[in-house]
Amino acid sequence: MDDMKNRKIAVIVGGPSTEAEVSRHTGAAIAEALQKKGYHTETIELVPQKLAAQLVGKKIEVVFNALHGRYGEDGVLQGLCEMMGIPYTGPGVMASAVGMNKVMSKCAFMGAGIPTAPFQYYFDSMGMQDIEADINKKFHLPVVIKSAAQGSSIGTAIVDTSEGIMPALQEAFKYGKSIIAEAFLDGNEYTVAVMDDVAFPIIQIVPSTGKYDYYSKYTPGVTQHLCPAPVSEELTKNMQQIALDVFHLCHCNGVARVDFMTDKEGHPFALEINTVPGMTSTSLVPDAARAMGVSFEDLCEKILLEASTGKF
């Protein structure tokens, strides 16, 4: 720990993704927390073509990844740090790339026998009308349509009518070449953070708007985080074990968050894994950590102290 306090730490934020502003809030909170702990941090706004030179020029010795979306969660920053020999927080290249892409992660879940909502993936080369027809054929309404590589519910829609499928497809394909259509689960929404082979207390997410979208996620007071979630001991253990299974399947490091929905019978289904979870004042992982008696500052320090290279 003392050695880390003598090292120059860069908190990387921003970037070209649709979640850049969320990343800046995350990075500001992390930098402040680490400074309170006595660490020397500098916040760097990502400019992809300049980052390597900045890290060298500023003599950065450790990278704290606070980038959401492109470059931060897809393995690109991780690969850069690996090649430069700079320790970095969070998972490695493979875990990041798989976790970021819902097509890859959902297929991995299914292959490993991890319960996940029934889904179908589509590529833009398939033709929009053919995709629309296939969704109408294979799914009951409502159906969830998601961009395969976005977070914060960007590019995601719950579609109630056949007429709503095409606009949802057009919106989702704005953010990439592949999308997911997923069966709508009419239970409750939960999330489980994992770190050091320990599953945190479960959070039940209860948005006052009725949907957990970008507005509900990042507007203080709009969404309740019930932690520990008011669920049975059996469901608690089941979701925590599934979260650990997902964490191990993806070869994660640091802290990650696995999101769940239940069906009307109360069975849990893993939807996705977030390998760079938000760390803002309204974020889920800090809430779960506090329920365990871990302060935000201690959580940030713990993540930092696990920074390394040579990750799978």
**Which position among 274, 283, 287, 301 bears the catalytic label?**
274
CA 101/CA 76 separation, integer angstroms? 13
Residue 263 a catalytic site member: no
Residue 211 φ/ψ, nearest 5 degrees: -145, 140
**Which position among 73, 213, 259, 287 bears the catalytic label?**
259
Q: Give exposure, 236-274, as e/b (b: 16+ Cβ within 10 Å).
A: bebbbebbbbbbebbbbbbbbbbbbbbbeeeebbbbbbb
**Which position among 72, 151, 254, 278 bears the catalytic label?**
278
Helix (H, G, I), strand (E, B) or coil at 135: helix
Residue 259 a catalytic site member: yes
Residue 221 a catalytic site member: no
CA 127/CA 150 separation, integer angstroms? 21
**Which position among 14, 15, 17, 19 bears the catalytic label?**
19
Residue 212 a catalytic site member: no
Residue 278 a catalytic site member: yes
CA 239/CA 246 separation, integer angstroms? 10
Q: Is the peptide bond before 91 cis (omega within 30 degrees of 0)?
A: no
Residue 274 a catalytic site member: yes
**Which position among 17, 105, 147, 152 bears the catalytic label?**
152
Helix (H, G, I), strand (E, B) or coil at 186: coil
Residue 136 a catalytic site member: no
Asked whether the beta carbons of 75 and 23 are under 8 A apart, the reply is: no
**Which position among 73, 272, 287, 301 bears the catalytic label?**
272
Which residues touch 122 (CB under 8 Å, ≥6 apart)?
Answer: 131, 134, 178, 179, 180, 181
- Tell me the helices (H) and strands (E) count for the chain, helix number first: 12, 13
CA 227/CA 190 separation, integer angstroms? 10
Residue 72 a catalytic site member: no
CA 233/CA 31 separation, integer angstroms? 36
Asked whether the beta carbons of 94 and 131 are under 8 A apart, the reply is: no
Residues designated catalytic: 19, 152, 218, 257, 259, 272, 274, 278
